Amino acid sequence: MKIQLTFSALLLAFVMVWGSSSDNFFKRLFGSANRTTNFQENPVPVQAQKENQVGVFFMPSWNLSPDPNVDIDSFWSCLINNDNCGHTHNTGMWGPKGRIFNAQYPYEGPFLERKPIKELGGFYKRNDPRVARKQLEYMKSYGIDFFAYDWFFGRHYYYHLNFGPQSNIYYPKNWRTDPTKSGRVAVPGVEEWIEQLDVLLAENAKLPESKQMKWAINWCDDSHEKWMLWLDVGSPASISAGRNYRGEAPTKQLFLQVHDKITQLWMDKYFKRKDYLRDPDGRPIVYLYFPQDLESRAAYYGITMKELLTRSQNMAKSAGYGGIKFIAVTAGPMMQHEMLYALPTRWRPTNPREPWRGGEYTDKLLLQDYNPRLKAMGFEGNTTYVYHMFEKQHNRSYADMRETYRLHWEKWSELYKDDPNFEYQVPVAMGWDMRPMGGTWPQPTGFPSEPDKDRVHSTKATFKAKLLDAQKHSAKYRATNGNTIMICCWNEYLEGNYIEPTEGHGFDYLEAIQEVFVKK
């Protein structure tokens, strides 16, 4: 879902990611990594009417190697050992020496219980169509109705249309390019880490419509590192290094053009698909992960979130889509002493004349102050990727997490219960354990600051109990808050939040979903 470098950042974006949020299991909990799985290869198809619509977040992996002929998968490299783990060697995240392992904070891998089952190809290639077909089959057969794909877009990256492989990159038709610069695009930006999405959608389209999965975009705005690269467009160093041309600058106008390009891309490539998720009125649904990231950066230009979302809405209406239903994906601290890690609403440069040199995120709000602003910002719903705390309640076990979630469910459902035009999509997570990435939460010293939080592990029984709680809660507020339940996550292997079948837990989590939501 998107990762940032501090506790605040991780609450903002790990995804890592950057970003994002996930779950893990120990061998002592799940047995040997060679455990034999026991599951239905041809499970009972979902036919009966379902009381809930069940969604799951899907996190892509990518190649860590600068050599396109060498594939070092960002997931598997960290599960197998620490040698090629780009996350523990990330000096921006961990400090100048990367993640430091010692007697007090030892390396606890490998994490082979997280290896996908043989039917998925083990540590599979992310663009393998056979794997994609299995993933779609398992989701559909076990009662998942749609997946929300963590979608990243690098707004800073200029490219050219007149030579490959860049010539295959999407660019809106009739948008201006410069023939004197090899067809350099006038508006930068490119999709990132979409190999898995491309193959999932290609395989989905081959299936009969009754067996296809619905899916939606979960837009994860740029990480802070990429925001700084955006601000660097047009800097003296960038010009002298030949990265950009004189006259190119990250202006307000260009920022809005990039936003329009993103919306146009959604419409051209995705919204027109029959398998794209829509609301009852036929409008495409877009999740927006950690809206405070986008809000803060737009505020640098004096642009509000309401303006951005309205801009997208108007484009979609003009194209005949009736608009877009935006769902905010939020989380964050709720205590005054945690204000340092709260949700920012503005980014301010240290030197306005040289913003590429850095700045700070300011005007921060605690979650209970941020969420009530969502509707006025243009959102029509709210959910989360992972809740790590509720006021003084922090997750140090799965029992803690269940209580944390219960408190959030009650608070936000009550907040929105009288508004039939704003829904709270009840979230569920199967745990959290970020040890393959070094631990929770990264610190510049090279040590994790809260290693005790990497012990949030569920079993099939405790996960099923949480699903039943969510189902009961959803029914209580269905009249105004809808019936969608969002599960995190299909495959957040590095953050320890994954329900995809593995050698460690087999089909336990999919079976729990089926047993709760599929009425046979």
44-76 tens-digit pLDDT: 444 345 799 999 999 999 999 989 889 999 999
Strand boundaries in 155-212, DSSP class E = 177-178, 184-185, 190-192
Q: Is 482 exposed, middle or buried (0-12, 13-18, 19+ CB in 10 A)?
A: buried
Quick check: is 349 in a domain?
yes
Quick check: is 166 in a domain?
yes
Quick check: is 48 in a domain?
no
Which CATH number covers residue 108? 3.20.20.80
Quick check: is 274 in a domain?
yes
Quick check: is 275 in a domain?
yes
Reference 12, options 406, 356, 429, 297; nearest CA is 297
Return the pLDDT at 27: 32
Which residue range is the domain that position 150 belongs to?
Answer: 53-517
Return the pLDDT at 49: 56
322: Cβ–Cβ under 8 A, 6 or more apart, which residues? 281, 282, 283, 316
Q: Is 329 helix (H, G, I), strand (E, B) or coil?
A: strand
Could you tell me the pTM of the whole model? Answer: 0.90
Return the pLDDT at 205: 98
Return the pLDDT at 46: 40
Quick check: is 497 in a domain?
yes
Q: What is the mean pLDDT of each run of 10 residues along the chain (520 residues)?
A: 38 34 32 37 47 97 92 97 95 94 96 98 97 98 98 94 86 89 91 96 97 98 92 94 90 98 98 97 98 98 98 98 98 98 98 96 98 98 98 97 98 96 97 98 94 96 98 96 96 98 98 93
Helix H or strand E segment including 359: strand 359-362
Tally of domains in the chain: 1
Quick check: is 302 in a domain?
yes
Quick check: is 47 in a domain?
no
Distance separating alpha carbons of residues 268 and 279, to the nearest angstrom: 19
194: Cβ–Cβ under 8 A, 6 or more apart, which residues? 60, 151
378: Cβ–Cβ under 8 A, 6 or more apart, which residues? 305, 306, 308, 309, 310, 313, 326
